[in-house]
Amino acid sequence: MNVYLARQPIFSREKTIHAYELLFRDGIANFFPDIDGNSATSRVLSSTFFSSDIEQITGGKRAFINFTPELIHLGIPQLFPPQITTIEILEDVHPDAPFLQCCAELSSAGYQIALDDFTYRRELLGLIQLADIIKIDFLNTDMDTIRKYVEVLSRNGCILLAEKVETMEQFRTALDLGFTYFQGYFFSRPELMRETEIPILKMNLLQIMAEAGNDDFRVNEMRKLIERDVGISYKLLCYMNSPFFRRLNEITSIKHAILMLGEKGIKSFLSVIIMSELSQDKPDELLKSSVIRAKLCESLGALKPGRTDPSQLFTLGLFSLIDAILESPMEHVLEKLPLSHEIKAALLDGKGFLSSYLRLAESYERGNWGDVISLGSALGIDTEKLPAIYFHALGWADALMETTGH
């Protein structure tokens, strides 16, 4: 059985990745309502950690995972190494003495304990004293209450994590209040929507990247471009010899690398390298999200051969966060680029056939499983193939990020 698993980034104050929360769901069609949550969660966790490469899933970062009280009583968290596992305890828990004892033992064994969606209740005092991290919901908690929580919890020595932070303004507020970690999609929104000119150098890079997605892009010209640029040549050879490809023989020439990757692979590689140049001053996760989304969209298109061009979908995914990368309105960025009408319609208005693929990729990333199933069904895609596609996109993106120095 395939495991539906996505991850949501958790940032430090410097907007670097501290950890990922694993968002998972097992199966489709209401996700096996005849199976209780504990059984489903146990199967997902064991499959994730024992059958998949956890380094691929979290990129070597810590994993935050929700555990029910029953699973904690059964000792399930102890199946996983404490150095990568943060145990999240849900907000509706009623901590009795045996449960607190289990949590104390886990804490003594080196596990981090986080209280999710925190709302103060007197019965939680024992857990608050044990918790390393307390997560406060910025979407559903009023600011006066948040300030009170910060004042009281900080005195207990708790590390505070602001979750559901969706705008840069909310991030700055949480930063000023003294939060240590931040979770949400604030990083993927333009910080300032302003009509400023995009620098000529960045505009040139954008045009090259857009041309790389066109069918009439000349492969020989691309080869010359790569061979003239020492930096791109070096990154291409590093990428082709990375562990992702598991090659027996080292690739030592640009010509060999191009032959091995093929036209489509070179186009994708060149696009990502240029995108990394454009996003030098942005959180690494912004570039990584663009790359993962590009590969996801491309792979989704490949599931229905002939219905749409996978390379167009790759370009669509890659450009889907370009407004946040350049801090400029999407329409301002796209007006000077040689992108197809279909791509522009999907990015600007969410319209057209291509937009369904983008929405499906975004829904999977966020763990919106109901939307994943409905969108996949509408596109005629076998959703049982999505987990493998997602894991492959993560590995592919990590290999490229290492190549680009992100």
pLDDT at site 338? 75
**For 202, phi and psi rounded to 5 degrees?**
-65, -35
> Global pTM?
0.81
Provide mean pLDDT across the span 252-281. 78
**Residue 112 and residue 87: Cα distance in Å, rounded?**
6
Burial annotation 307-336 (CB, 10 A radius, 16+ → b, else e): ebbbbbbbbbbbbbbbbbbbbbbbebbbee
> What is the token pair recorded at 181?
């970690």
> What is the token pair recorded at 255?
């010509």
> What is the token pair recorded at 260?
């091995």
DSSP-derived pairing of the beta strands 181-183 and 3-11: antiparallel
Write a three-state SS string for the chain: CCEEEEEEEEECCCCCEEEEEEEEEECCCCCCCCCCHHHHHHHHHHHHHHHCCHHHHHCCCEEEEEECHHHHHCCHHHHCCCCCEEEEECCCCCCCHHHHHHHHHHHHCCCEEEECCCCCCHHHHHHHHHCCEEEEECCCCCHHHHHHHHHHHHHCCCEEEEECCCCHHHHHHHHHHCCCEEECCHHHCCCCCCCCCCCHHHHHHHHHHHHHCCCCCCHHHHHHHHHHCHHHHHHHHHHHCCCCCCCCCCCCCHHHHHHHHHHHHHHHHHHHHHHHHHCCCCCHHHHHHHHHHHHHHHHHHHCCCCCCCHHHHHHHHHHCCHHHHHCCCHHHHHCCCCCCHHHHHHHHHCCCHHHHHHHHHHHHHHCCHHHHHHHHHHHCCCHHHHHHHHHHHHHHHHHHHHHHCC
In order of their start, the domains of the chain are 3-188 (3.20.20.450), 200-404 (1.10.3210.10)
> What is the token pair recorded at 362?
């975004």
The pLDDT tens digits of the residues spanning 86-136 come to 999 988 888 999 999 999 999 999 999 999 999 988 898 899 999 999 999
Kindly tell me if the per-residue pLDDT of 246 is higher than 50: yes
**Residue 18 and residue 265: Cα distance in Å, rounded?**
31
Kindly tell me if the per-residue pLDDT of 326 is higher than 70: yes
Q: Residue 262: which pLDDT band, with cuts at 50, 70 and 90?
A: confident
pLDDT at site 29? 30
Question: How many alpha carbons lie under 13 Å from residue 121 in its C-beta half-sphere?
Answer: 12
Kindly tell me if the per-residue pLDDT of 385 is higher than 60: yes
pLDDT at site 97? 93
Q: Which residue has the higher pLDDT, 362 or 259?
A: 362
Q: Residue 283: which pLDDT band, with cuts at 50, 70 and 90?
A: confident
The pLDDT tens digits of the residues spanning 185-198 come to 998 887 654 555 56
pLDDT at site 161? 98
Q: Residue 30: which pLDDT band, with cuts at 50, 70 and 90?
A: very low
pLDDT at site 32? 31
The pLDDT tens digits of the residues spanning 134-180 come to 999 999 999 999 999 999 898 878 899 999 999 999 999 999 999 99
Q: Which residue has the higher pLDDT, 195 or 364?
A: 364
Strands (E) located in 27-180? 62-67, 85-89, 112-115, 133-137, 159-163
Q: Residue 31: which pLDDT band, with cuts at 50, 70 and 90?
A: very low
Mean pLDDT of the chain, nearest integer: 82
pLDDT at site 260? 82
Q: Which of 273, 334, 336, 340 is nearest to 313 (CA)?
A: 340
Does residue 244 sit in helix, strand or coil?
A: coil
